[in-house]
Structure 1
């Protein structure tokens, strides 16, 4: 009879370990990028300027590969107010574009996010999105 309480005590102590979950086993062919976020850079841009080509390429490559990355760019309004925009590619092949207009002295001070299905870049037009859902207000 003493063995059962002793075994129960040992089992309880073993269950009270550090609580850290075991690492997920490696699965060949599975994407290990979906849970991580890489950085394609942060840029403060001048009037009429767009993100550098290498940063746009970083974002486009991740978008095409359905790998999660983030890039941040601050664009000035016509009056020079800074408007931060965060681009986050998603593992489902879409991209979230979050625009913070709170510093726009003549605009509506909100944060909005659009989810888009297309991303392009060229020297003339710069970085562009298409196939976007209606913007959704984001609470800070």
Structure 2
């Protein structure tokens, strides 16, 4: 049985060194590499590796946030609109501001927020905002 591996590191030399070392093993196959956390999440969801070797400190979405995203299958329950509302909520927008940004009614925003809370098992909007940051849905660097 071959172990399928994804290597994620922002330093190309480190990424390639790990690839060479791992590919040198007969039962390991490096199926993808990534230069940042967002790319690592994308590759992992696309290619479904058995193991992810991840640098924790990378620009943009770091390795910790990427691992959190990969370990959070309940996020897959959210619709694209709910993801968008959650990102806006985490950035501190009010229901009215979210409604304006999404060109929907404020009541619809409230429905989306309630569904987000239910699906993620959260109690308040504050919990949802914290959850979004902890799971890499938004980053502190985002505008």
Report if TM-score (shorter chain) is over 0.5: no
TM range (shorter): under 0.3
Q: Which of 1 and 2 has greater Rg? A: 1
The structure where helix makes up a greater share of residues is 2
Q: Which has the higher contact order (CA 8 A, sep 6+)?
A: 2
TM-score by length of 2: 0.23
The structure where strand makes up a greater share of residues is 1
